[in-house]
């Protein structure tokens, strides 16, 4: 790998790392806020964190019995060949609750969420971040957008059942695509 290509690769991986770090800092702030009894969710944000999609995340994903067939195991190889991607593993303590894979457009104006999946079920019921995976992953993708200067987040081919959840999280249907315009 040439020096310029290697430098660009490292630059993009640093952007992804910075987005995860900024998101984790925001989660730390949420954990420090006094509990609001009206919005009591039972979520201890001190246990929520973002990491990259690594061997530990893929090992836990294997236990999910996912019905979607998303190619999560391909993400490490895709990142090796094109480092522009943002890969997110959403954890609650040691429990993997969600995965997200996003990529910017060539001009960096749009970041497209290519894949996003929450843990489908647990033997003891739903996981602690059920109905929050999209919201939290979009928080991290938003940090990535801020770092690279993107103005929009677009959902690439959302599952029909997920569309209402995206709309609840401020996405709008624009020309057949789910789009979130970021504030300045």
Which pLDDT tens digit goes with each residue over 51-61? Answer: 999 999 999 99
- 5-15: per-residue pLDDT in tens? 678 889 999 99
More confident residue, 40 or 57: 57
Mean pLDDT for 112-127 is 81
- 92-110: per-residue pLDDT in tens? 999 999 999 999 998 999 9
Give the domain ranges of the chain: 3-35+44-181
- Residue 116 scores a pLDDT above 60: yes
- Residue 1 scores a pLDDT above 60: no
Q: Which 3 state secondary structure label does DSSP give 159?
A: coil
Q: Are 1 and 9 in contact (CB under 8 A)?
A: yes
Mean pLDDT for 149-167 is 90
β strands within 105-151, DSSP E: 110-118
- Residue 38 scores a pLDDT above 90: no
- Residue 76 scores a pLDDT above 90: no
- 3-35+44-181: CATH, from 3.40.630.30, 3.10.20.90, 3.40.30.10, 3.40.50.300: 3.40.630.30
Contacts within 8 Å (CB) and 24+ apart, 8-12:
8/83, 9/83, 10/83, 12/83, 12/84, 12/85
Q: Are 180 and 59 in contact (CB under 8 A)?
A: no
């Amino acid at each position: 790998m040439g020096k310029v290509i290697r430098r660009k690769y490292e630059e993009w991986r640093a952007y992804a790392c910075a987005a995860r770090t900024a998101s984790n800092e925001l989660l730390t702030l949420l954990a420090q806020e006094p509990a609001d009894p009206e919005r009591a969710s039972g979520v201890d944000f001190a246990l929520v964190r973002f990491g990259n999609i690594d061997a530990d995340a893929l090992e836990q994903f294997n236990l999910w019995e996912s019905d979607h067939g998303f190619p999560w195991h391909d993400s490490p190889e895709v990142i090796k060949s094109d480092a522009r991607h943002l890969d997110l593993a959403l954890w609650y303590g040691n429990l993997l609750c969600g995965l997200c894979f996003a990529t910017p457009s060539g001009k960096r104006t749009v970041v497209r969420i290519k894949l996003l999946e929450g843990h489908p079920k647990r033997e003891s019921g739903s996981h602690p971040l059920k109905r929050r995976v999209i919201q939290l992953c979009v928080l991290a993708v938003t940090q990535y957008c801020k770092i690279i200067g993107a103005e929009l987040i677009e959902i690439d081919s959302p599952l029909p059942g997920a569309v209402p959840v995206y709309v609840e999280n401020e996405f709008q249907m624009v020309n057949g695509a789910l789009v979130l315009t970021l504030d300045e």
